[in-house]
Structure 1
Amino acid sequence: MTVIPGDGIGPEVVHEALLTLEALDLGLGLDVLDHVNADAYLRTGTALSDRDFERVRASAATLLGAVGDPRTDGTDYARGVLLRLRFDLDLYVNHRPARLLHDRLSPLRRKEHRPLDCVIVRENTEGLYAGIGGRLRPGTPHEVALDVEISTGHGVERVIDYAFSIARRGVCMVDKSNAVRNGGGLWQRRWREAAEARPDIETTHLYVDNAVMQLVADPTRFDVIVANNSYGDILSDLAAELAGGLGAATSANLNAATGFGLFEPVHGTAPDIAGQGVANPVGAILTAGLMVGHLGHRDAAKAVTRAVDRAIDLERTTPDLGGDLTTAEAGAAVRAELR
């Protein structure tokens, strides 16, 4: 497997994740691309070289810490790494599990609605983030900006099929087809076809504004939510906050046909706290657990989850989760519970 520690707090939290993988003693071979970072981009102008891309492609999976740096101008660098991997490897599923880590971490007032345990399945290669559009007369009072949302029958069908494949109880499809009629109509047709083919799975549909409200009002009603790129982006961050915060949130970018996965905690590079030893390593550790489960080491993945749960229960965590430990100490606390 390949590892890209990245920027900001990425190398700090990935270090703890790799120590956790080492403690699991799974015999994983690691190819660490620690030269793929903003420093190299600023020096060479290349975000991810073709050679490094091929090293990633040849691996079984990739663990990514975080990419991005305020010294880089615009989004070309981060897009050059993350979106190149997503699009060129056709990682069409963004799989975002959200499970309440501890009752004290939930922002919800009603205790019975706190135990969130769902997955947001976000279409990952189409939609508004495909980069289709442009500007006319930029910088003038008559500037026109266009961002085109792309939906294809193939793309919509396969991400909905993936959502059904992982469902335990039901799948809720979220769109805005009452207002966005063309793409919405395509999603609705593919949704009906998939639902008819899987009568054993409970199916529901919500418009995105209502889905946001329902996710806050009672997140326990959801098992799997499937949505397009932009709606899924918003819903998955909301679910992460309901589950205890972005510092512990995990994600997988998957191609279900090839089996390849790019796994990353979703907290970003957090340059304001980089190098201070206070970053929360739980998201990276749980992401590593998600990755090894994907690679077939399911018992090891469950062991990581149990160890994190125990460390959080004991408040052996960084301050954002209620403890007073450093990044390294919090990582060590999780590994102590593995034993």
Structure 2
Amino acid sequence: MHTVTLIPGDGIGPEVTAAAVEVIAAAGIKINWEIADMGITALEKYGTPLPDEAIASVKKNKFALKGPVTTPVGKGFRSVNVGLRQALNLYANLRPVKSFPGIPSPFSSVDLVVVRENTEDLYAGVEHNIGNVAAEAVKIITKEASNRIARFAFQYALEHRRKKVTAVHKANILKLSDGLFLNTCQAAARDYPDIEFSDRIIDALCMDLVLAPHKYDVLVLPNLYGDIVSDLCAGLVGGLGLVPGANIGTEGAVFEAVHGSAPDIAGKGIANPTALMLCAAMLLDQLGETTAAEKIRRGIEQVIEEKIALTRDLGGSSSTREFTEAICRAIV
């Protein structure tokens, strides 16, 4: 039996994590879940949103399934997600983006992967005030981190039979920082001759993605660009509620939905758990339970395509519970 850390989070987090746990069980996989608190619930209990106990649990178990947590805007505590990634050196953020038949979206048959460097860039959080008239943030790009994420992207492409990796940057303006990222990706590409390599300036890429996303396969980006582009890509297939994510390091991985905690609908039983269910499938892949992972994906696709039970954001009227039960039936 596998032991995995379960982080329910806050807002709708406990509801969607419960649904994900249920579909894993329906797929026939037994997991010993070790519960760990993060976010607002942890702040109330431990006096910190990212307690050492939770970090220790993930370090021990190597894998975690995590619900969304609230991050205050412009005040309050720092992002728990950023802190967790840095504490565990989860250097690669992986977000597969794939169209769902039956979901209205700008494009059909989108199938691309966003690989985002997770530990540095402006998200390193090195910022300070300049008197009371300005603020300054430091953009940190290192050769080591750039090489690590580039090789992660190429290796992922190789292992998943992807054909092309595109490095995304603004090296025409940021010649030293983004220039270093681009040059490092170009050097890594030489070790993967079977994978086509290209690069694209970030603003041009964004235009391309809303005009012709099928041009791209695997995108590798520095932290800030990756954060923005991954949400843009989610919009191409119907929204954040349909896209999974994983934060992967050398010693473990945390699987989490890319959407927020949606406190305005928490406890109402109407949240869409699809994204975290897909995260659960990614977790099972990492655990070697690939057959069960595919069962979950097929079950979700069937329920959505046949409109068996859709939550409100998907155009239906079903509750989180009804949607989850329908997927469990489809899995079996």
How far 1:147 sits from its partner (Å)?
A: 0.7
How far 1:192 sits from its partner (Å)?
A: 1.6
Partners of 1:195 and 1:46 in 2: CA distance: 42
How far 1:27 sits from its partner (Å)?
A: 2.2
- AA at the equivalent of 1:127: D
What is the DSSP-based 3-state SS (H/G/I as helix, E as strand, rest coil) of the residue aligned with 2:271? coil
- AA at the equivalent of 2:176: N
Partners of 2:27 and 2:150 in 1: CA distance: 34
Partners of 1:107 and 1:326 in 2: CA distance: 26
- AA at the equivalent of 1:332: E
How far 1:43 sits from its partner (Å)?
A: 5.4
How far 1:221 sits from its partner (Å)?
A: 1.6
User: 1:75-111 CA distances to partner (integer Å, 9 max, x unpaired)?
Assistant: 415x2x3222200110000001100012542124xxx
Aligned position for 1:145 = 135
Q: Do the aligned partners of 2:97 and 2:234 also contact (CA within 8 Å) in 1?
A: yes
User: 1:19-69 CA distances to partner (integer Å, 9 max, x unpaired)?
Assistant: 111112222211012x43414414542122222321121013111101116
- AA at the equivalent of 2:26: A
How far 1:272 sits from its partner (Å)?
A: 1.1
Alignment coverage as a number of residue pairs: 324
Partners of 1:193 and 1:270 in 2: CA distance: 42
Q: Among 14, 19, 22, which residue is 2:22 paired with?
A: 19
Check if 1:333 corresponds to 2:332.
no
Aligned position for 1:111 = none
How far 1:238 sits from its partner (Å)?
A: 0.7
Q: Among 112, 115, 126, which residue is 1:121 paired with?
A: 115
- AA at the equivalent of 2:225: Y
Partners of 1:36 and 1:156 in 2: CA distance: 29
Aligned position for 1:74 = 75
Aligned position for 1:93 = 92
- AA at the equivalent of 2:143: G
What is the DSSP-based 3-state SS (H/G/I as helix, E as strand, rest coil) of the residue aligned with 2:264? coil
Partners of 2:259 and 2:217 in 1: CA distance: 23
Q: Do the aligned partners of 2:114 and 2:226 also contact (CA within 8 Å) in 1?
A: yes
Q: Do the aligned partners of 1:164 and 1:171 also contact (CA within 8 Å) in 2?
A: yes
CA RMSD of aligned residues (A): 1.6
How far 1:318 sits from its partner (Å)?
A: 0.4
Q: Do the aligned partners of 2:71 and 2:77 also contact (CA within 8 Å) in 1?
A: no
Q: Do the aligned partners of 2:113 and 2:219 also contact (CA within 8 Å) in 1?
A: yes
Q: Do the aligned partners of 1:99 and 1:118 also contact (CA within 8 Å) in 2?
A: yes
How far 1:337 sits from its partner (Å)?
A: 0.7
Partners of 1:275 and 1:290 in 2: CA distance: 26
Partners of 1:105 and 1:150 in 2: CA distance: 39
Aligned position for 1:184 = 178
Aligned position for 2:124 = 130
Check if 1:275 corresponds to 2:299.
no
Aligned position for 2:43 = 41
How far 1:154 sits from its partner (Å)?
A: 0.4
Structure 2 unaligned residues grouped into runs of 5+:
none
1:312-327 aligned within 5 A:
312-315=304-307, 316-327=309-320
User: 1:100-131 CA distances to partner (integer Å, 9 max, x unpaired)?
Assistant: 012542124xxxxx211011000000101001
- AA at the equivalent of 1:92: Y
Q: Do the aligned partners of 1:94 and 1:124 also contact (CA within 8 Å) in 2?
A: yes
How far 1:323 sits from its partner (Å)?
A: 1.9
Aligned position for 1:295 = 287
Q: Which runs of 4+ in 1 moved over 4 A?
A: none
Q: TM-score, normalised by structure 2?
A: 0.93
Q: Do the aligned partners of 2:9 and 2:38 also contact (CA within 8 Å) in 1?
A: yes
* CA 177–245 in structure 1, closer or farther in 2 if over 3 Å, else same: same
- AA at the equivalent of 2:190: E
* CA 69–130 in structure 1, closer or farther in 2 if over 3 Å, else same: closer
How far 1:319 sits from its partner (Å)?
A: 1.7
User: 1:269-297 CA distances to partner (integer Å, 9 max, x unpaired)?
Assistant: 00111111111011111111111111111
User: 1:191-226 CA distances to partner (integer Å, 9 max, x unpaired)?
Assistant: 221122212111111100000011111111211000
Partners of 2:306 and 2:230 in 1: CA distance: 27
Structure 1 unaligned residues grouped into runs of 5+:
109-113
Check if 1:2 corresponds to 2:1.
no
* CA 188–40 in structure 1, closer or farther in 2 if over 3 Å, else same: closer
* CA 43–58 in structure 1, closer or farther in 2 if over 3 Å, else same: closer
